[in-house]
Structure 1
Amino acid sequence: MTDDVAEKMLVTQADAWGLCLDRKQLMLFRLYAETLAQWNTHTNVTAITDRQQIYLRHFLDALALARFCGTAPSALIDIGSGAGLPGVPLKILFPELELVLIDSVAKKTNFLKHLIMQLGLEQVRIVTERVEAFARIPYERERYPVVTARAVADVRVLAEYALPLLTIGGRLLAPKGADPRVEVEAALPVFAMLGGRLHSIEPVLLPGLEPRSVVLIDKIAPTDRRYPRPVGTPTRKPLTG
């Protein structure tokens, strides 16, 4: 067991979830935190700069999603990836994962390119694009078994972004606050319209933080090619079912 307080917290909580982190993975998380702090001195990519908080609010918050992926997924697309969260921690956990990080802000994707180079990760694609445009590319549609999106939008909007990208049998993992039931209830007709179905709302408990949750939406049928609608429309006029 490491003597580093932040690493010890990471290892202990991951172990409690049944996730085993080896020395190489811990080294990658260490380098990730260092790269994030260094880059943030000249370009703001995260408001969280304390090392222990990076491990807690970024890395553990991301690894909490691994329990809901089923077996190690073959591919994952992270929408609005920002500082690489939750996609990059999940890539560190699942080294064979084919990862796509998409963000429309160039300064964020510039950081992601630097980060991936620093970590030496392979099978990672970084896309500077609005997801509405990306999800209309024919060969990108319905090919990803897992889609994640942290702090991006209302779950109705997330569903329109993500469900066109999910393969049938795939799953959207949408981190939310402690009790998103009202938001999710309003979105149920939208899920059905887009070929999805609510699987569950799962609690996520992290040491010292307020309770939060993750909304799991399964893809059960093809998504009509009308969706997602043109760039900006999903957020201006969310679907109502």
Structure 2
Amino acid sequence: MDATAYRGLLEEGLASLGVEAEPGGVEAVLLHLDLVREWNERMNLTAITDPREMVIKHALDAASGLAVAGVEPGQRVIDVGTGAGFPGVVWKCLRPGIDLTLLESLQKRCRFLEEVGQAVIGPLAGGEGYQVVWGRAEDVGRNPAHRERYDLVTARAVAELRVLAEYCLPLARVGGRFLAMKGPSVGEEILAAEAAVEKLGGRLEEVRELELPDGGGRRSLVLIRKERPTPKAYPRRAGVPAKSPL
């Protein structure tokens, strides 16, 4: 990717979203996108490979979450089902001070994310505050090392909202938040998820719709506050939330 050609597009897009990049952040995001394209030749990381589209539909889409759920240095963040590292790696590039965990169920993608940690996060943040966890959300959500440990839990287009809630809310601390990054039409999903969110200890706090820069499309960002501990029965065993949503 020609960093000079796409740096301006990324910087202008971030400005339009109201998201500031910390020093070195823009370069780190572009390097991450380069690695995604390189590794995509060996494994399925993304169907979007045009550099301009990657800036808009991966990097800027990921960054839009910071416009809604801005995070502070030292806060613990987990990206559930991160895939190629969207939005988590982009957040870490733009906010190096966060303590980021990337949760991914495919081991080969975890190897890619570990390479990103060395090549991108290492030079930017000394490799601090960056952890890759191989596992399923249903299992990790029952692990005391992760259950109710995070200030912010996020997931981008992994599943419908009531399923995502069971994956993600058990990981959020009481008082923490869960940000679901969804497509343009989310109203029916929110209605269908109300009972699940309540059962899991959450409350809908905000739904913000925004337009990605340069015709990138419309997005809905759903922010849920964790108000009570999640009952011990949740998350249910692996595969059950998707097959039988709350």
Q: TM-score range by the shorter chain?
A: over 0.9
Give a deviation string over 1:31-89, Cα, whole Å, max 9, x none.
11211111112222111111111111111001000022244261110000100010000
State the partner residue of 1:63: 63
Instruction: Report the Cα distance in structure 2 between the residues aligned to 1:39 and 1:108, rounded to whole angstroms.
Output: 10
Taking structure 1 as the reference length, the TM-score comes to 0.94
**TM-score of the two chains, using structure 2 as the length reference:** 0.92
Paired residue secondary structure (1:164):
helix
Say if 2:241 is the partner of 1:234: yes
- Note if 1:185 corresponds to 2:191: yes
Q: Deviations over 1:93-126 (max 9, x none)?
A: 1111111101111111111111111111422111
**Identical positions, percent:** 40
Separation of aligned partners in 1, 2:35 and 2:70: 30
Return the alpha-carbon distance in structure 2 between the equivalents of residues 179 and 199 of structure 1.
Answer: 18
Other-structure match for 2:216? 209
Q: State the alpha-carbon separation in 1 of the partners of residues 143 and 51 from structure 2.
A: 39
- Most deviating of 178-187 and 65-74: 65-74
Q: Secondary structure at the match of 2:176?
A: strand
Q: How many equivalent residue pairs?
A: 238
Paired residue secondary structure (2:47): coil
Q: What is the alpha-carbon distance in structure 1 between the residues aligned to residue 182 and residue 106 of structure 2? A: 22
CA contact (8 A) 1:7 1:55 kept: no
What's the Cα RMSD here? Answer: 1.6
Q: CA separation in 2, counterparts of 1:194 and 1:161?
A: 10
Deviation at 1:145, TM superposition (A): 0.8
CA-to-partner distance for each residue in 1:108-167, whole Å, 9 max, x for gaps?
Answer: 111111111111142211111011000101231111011111111110011111111101
Q: Within the alignment, does 1:96 sit opposite 2:97 as a pair?
A: yes
Query: Which residue type is aligned with residue 51 of structure 1?
Result: P
> 2:99·2:130 contact (CA, 8 Å) conserved in 1?
yes
| Runs of 4+ that moved beyond 4 A | none
Residue aligned with 2:170, SS? coil
What residue ranges of structure 1 are gaps of 5+ in the alignment?
none
